[in-house]
Each structure stands twice: as C-alpha cells, then as structure tokens.
Amino acid sequence: MAEAVKHMFGRIAPKYDMLNRVLSARRDVAWRRTALGMLTGSPSDVLDLACGTFDLALEALACGKARRIHGCDFCQPMLIAGASKRSGRPVTAAVGDALRLPYADASFDAAMVAYGWRNFGDPARSLAELRRVLRPGGEVLILEFFRPERWWPRVFYATFGRFVFPAVGGLLAGDSSAYRYLNDSIRGFLSIAEAERTMAAAGFDDIRRTGFFGGVSHALVGRSRR
C-alpha cells in the first residue's frame, strides 16, 4: 500500500501545487498560515514531515515560525517538484519514512505535518517517532482532513470529494484515481476527536484545535510532555 501511494504522489507531483489551489479555491494558503499561528514561540529547527513541495516550510519561514526547516518526504518526485521553491532558503530535503525517521533523538524544536498523516499507515507510531525527534516541550502541528462527523463535512465529502475532486484531478493532472484515493483515505481515517485522543496517548498535552471551512479541515497542535 505504501509503495502504491508513493507512486501515486510521484505521478501527480508536477501538478500538485496547482491542484491544491484549484481544489481548495486557494483556501489552503490561509489554512497553512492560520495553523502556523497556533505554534507558540519562534522555534529554530523545525521538521516538516511529508513536506511535499515545501509550501508549509516556506510559509513557516515567512511568518517567523522557523529559522531552519528540515523537510522529509517519502516521495522523491515531490521533493524534486518543489526544489526551485526552496533554492537559497534555509530548507533541507531528505527522503525518509515517517515510521522510521532518519534523525537522532531530540533534534527539533517543533515538527509539522500538512495533509500527510493519513498516508503514514500507523498514526500512533508516527506520533511516537515525532515525539522521539522533538526536544522536550517541543510542539507538533498537524494540518489534516479528518473523517467527518458533522453534517456539513459529510455532505462536502459525499459530493465534492466523491465526484468533483476526481473529475478535476482527471482533467488537470490526467489522474482521477489519485483524487478518489484522497476521498477514500479521509473516510477511512481518524475523526478529529480520535486524533486528539491518539495525540494524548502518544505523549502530547496542551492539545488545541482549529477548524476550517466548517470542519472540512482541521489543525491540531500538541506539546511533547517533558
């Protein structure tokens, strides 16, 4: 499954940024900015896991939420697609597995994941890895589409998610299956309440959430227990 998902992201990498803007009507830009504002302080070294084409990394630098970003993604074509965007910036890139991060313990002041947690295969284990590489008291930010529980997100995913996203993905990227996967992965993932409980069980406290577009997307922040 992981290899299939990796190849899927590799296929859509050249059109990934454009499709994010189109499918979210550019709301994704504001969502990232608001989510980053939930982080406290000004961390120096920040891990951007499932960094993709570095949109979140560059926004974190722009709003003073990081001095150095260490990007990690399991899909090398995504890193290549975003390479020109990070040129000349304090952003490194590495290919790595979210369940076996290629970093020493206590390497980062903060960590962030934008729309990648669904793809890790084991949500609890990935949080344990993030906690391992965080310094004591470090924060993790997760921006994600969670399994909907309220009526509006359910309607949104049953209509736009099921029909519009694959159609647009097929038209603009020639790959409708990738955007069927998006909707299917959301339906099979954690709810926001389950995600909060999973974070707490993994050793994070001071857990806070913010919803976007009526609960279609959420940002979660938690602090690693000392």
Q: Which residue has the tokens 């550019």?
A: 26
Tell me the residue type at 3: E
For residue range 129-163, what is the model confidence (pLDDT) as tens digits? 999 999 999 999 999 999 999 999 999 999 999 99
Mean pLDDT computed over every residue of the chain: 94
Q: What are the structure tokens assigned to 154, written together?
A: 């359910």
Instruction: Please give the pLDDT value at position 33.
Output: 96
- Spell out the domains of the chain, with CATH numbers in brackets: 26-148+190-224 (3.40.50.150)
Which own/partner pairs from 75-78 qualify as long-range (CB within 8 Å, at least 24 positions apart)?
75/6, 75/9, 75/10, 75/13, 76/10, 77/9, 77/10, 77/13, 78/9, 78/10, 78/13, 78/16, 78/51, 78/52, 78/53
For residue range 51-92, what is the model confidence (pLDDT) as tens digits? 999 999 999 999 999 999 999 999 999 999 999 999 999 999
What's the CA gap between 58 and 90, in Å, rounded?
Answer: 9
pLDDT band at residue 120, thresholds of 50, 70 and 90? Answer: very high
Instruction: Quote the Cα angle for 107-115-43, to 5°.
Output: 30
Instruction: Please give the pLDDT value at position 172.
Output: 85
Q: What are the structure tokens assigned to 40, written together?
A: 């406290």
What's the CA gap between 80 and 159, in Å, rounded?
Answer: 33
In our burial notation (b when 16+ CB lie closer than 10 A, e otherwise), range 95-113 reads ebebeebebeeebbbbbbb
Mean pLDDT along residues 159-183? 90
Nearest one of 34, 37, 32, 24 to 58, comparing CA atoms:
32
Instruction: Please give the pLDDT value at position 92.
Output: 96
Instruction: Please give the pLDDT value at position 164.
Output: 92
Instruction: Please give the pLDDT value at position 189.
Output: 97
Element (H, E) at 177: helix 176-187
Q: Within 13 Å and on the Cβ side, how many CA atoms surround 39?
A: 28
Nearest one of 138, 114, 131, 132 to 39, comparing CA atoms:
138
What's the CA gap between 47 and 69, in Å, rounded?
Answer: 6
Q: Could you count the other beta carbons within 10 Å of the beta carbon of residue 221?
A: 24
